[in-house]
Structure 1
Amino acid sequence: MAVVVCEIQYSIHDSFSLKDKRQTVKSIIDRMRNKYHIAISEVDDLDMHNKTTIEMACVSNSRQLARSILDKVQAEIESLYSVDVLSSYWDEL
């Protein structure tokens, strides 16, 4: 069994209030959780209106498969939403 964890800090464009940010973050989390069946949550920068930190985890029988799923999630977030990656941290257990 392999667990891959990824924590990514995003800058959110077009977010001028906490309401705008929460709408975007909720959309990201709901879409990625339903499509890829991963654990995903906002873990930091909760009170900043234009920045968020999202952590996601995938459990699989293969590290390569879990890593490729999270890579797809990250690429999809960047293509569908107006965000920029500020930093990222990956860990494999």
Structure 2
Amino acid sequence: MTIGAVYCELLIYDAQSLKDKRSVLKSLITRIKQRFNVSVAEIGHQNVWQRSEIAVVTVSANKNVAEQEIDRVLSFIDRMTELERTVTNYEWL
């Protein structure tokens, strides 16, 4: 069994308030949960209106499958025009 986790810092350019940030993040998190077999949550920078940190975690019997799923999620995040993914750290357990 392999547990794959990725931690991503995000820049949200158009956010002018925490409400704007929460709107973008809620949409992102909901869409990721609906499309992919992963868990996702905001884990950092909750009180900063143009930055966020999220964690994406998946569990699989095979590391390659877990890695492919995480890569698909990261590609999905990169296609979003509302935000930019900056620092990304992987962790395998």
User: TM-score with structure 1 length normalisation?
Assistant: 0.94
Structure 2 residue aligned with 1:6: 6
Structure 1 residue aligned with 2:68: 68
- For these two proteins, the number of residue pairs brought into alignment is 93
SS at match of 1:16: coil
Of all paired residues, the percent bearing the same amino acid is 24
Structure 1 residue aligned with 2:55: 55
SS at match of 1:80: coil
Q: Distance in 2 between matches of 1:86 and 1:66?
A: 21
Amino acid at match of 2:80: L
Amino acid at match of 1:25: L
Gapped runs of 5+ residues in structure 1? Answer: none
Indicate the RMSD between aligned Cα atoms, in angstroms: 0.9
Deviation at 1:90, TM superposition (A): 0.2
Structure 1 runs of 4+ aligned residues shifted over 3 Å read none
* 1:32 and 2:71 aligned: no
Q: Distance in 2 between matches of 1:4 and 1:81?
A: 26
Gapped runs of 5+ residues in structure 2? Answer: none
Q: Contact conserved, 2:37 with 2:69, CA < 8 A, in 1?
A: no
Q: Distance in 2 between matches of 1:46 and 1:26?
A: 12
